[in-house]
Amino acid sequence: MTSTLFASIAATGFAVAFLHAALPTHWLPFVLVGRGQGWSAGRTLAVALLAAVGHVAVTTLLGAMLVTAGLAVEERLGSIFGLLVAGGMAALGLYYLWRGRKRAHVHDMTRSYGSDRAAVLSLVTLLALSPCEAFLPIFLASTPHGWGGFAALTGVLMAATAAGMLLFTSLSLAGVQRLKLDALQRHETTIMGATLLVMAGIVALIEV
């Protein structure tokens, strides 16, 4: 795998992770719970960042398992491995295009909590139990770069997830609604699907 292709995969990974973080479930609950608990903006953002770390940790763990399996079979499959990765990306991209017809649903997080600790635990668990599955084929595509590539993509995932969650949480806390974020919320899965399809095509062309 060339460094140019890896850079393309990293850029695609950033876009996918950022758009995934744009889902309302990744920032709106923090705003609702923060207001209900009487948190300051800084504390709300700190909890969002903590949840982002947990979210990335679970996704990274799943990615490590996938890359371990990929490294085990890569030598046996040769060039076919790259085509299989491209096929997996394309399949996931088509799934996201299909799912993009539905609007994201935000769970009701407005109920009161007995303590701030319970509120934080609930928010962190919410994100930890919904890993960024769209990033998993990105991890797998980096298998030829070994664990160094995996570490680099983990950094990309963390940066994109934190940036997306903190950005949209901050905008919502500031009451910024004129930016028409609803349009992005409705179409983020469609955009992710199209992005994965484009990346799948690039990987397939290079591997052929």
Task: Write out pLDDT tens, residues 20-55.
Answer: 888 888 888 898 898 888 899 999 999 999 999 999
Mean pLDDT of 90-116: 65
Is pLDDT of 69 > 70? yes
Q: How many domains is the chain partitioned into structurally? A: 1
Whether 1 shows a pLDDT value over 90: the answer reads no
Query: What's the average model confidence in pLDDT over 149-156?
Result: 94
Provide the CB-side half-sphere exposure for 154 (13 A, CA). 19
Of these ranges, 159-163, 185-189, 196-200, the one predicted with the greatest mean pLDDT is: 159-163
Structural domain range at position 198: 3-207
- pLDDT bucket at 58, cuts 50 / 70 / 90: very high
Q: Determine which helix (DSSP H) or strand (DSSP E) holds 162, and give its type and residue range.
A: helix 146-173
Tell which wins on pLDDT, 7 or 109.
7
Of the candidate ranges 5-19, 82-96, 105-119, the one whose mean pLDDT is the lowest: 105-119
Q: What is the pTM of this model?
A: 0.78
Please check the confidence at residue 104 and state whether its pLDDT lies above 80: no
CA–CA dist 129, 124 (Å, integer) = 9
Share of the chain above pLDDT 90, in %: 25
pLDDT above 70 (res 100) = no
Residue 136 has pLDDT above 80, yes or no: yes
DSSP 22-84: TSGGGTHHHHHHHHHHT--HHHHHHHHHHHHHHHHHHHHHHHHHHHHHHHHHHHHHTHHHHHH
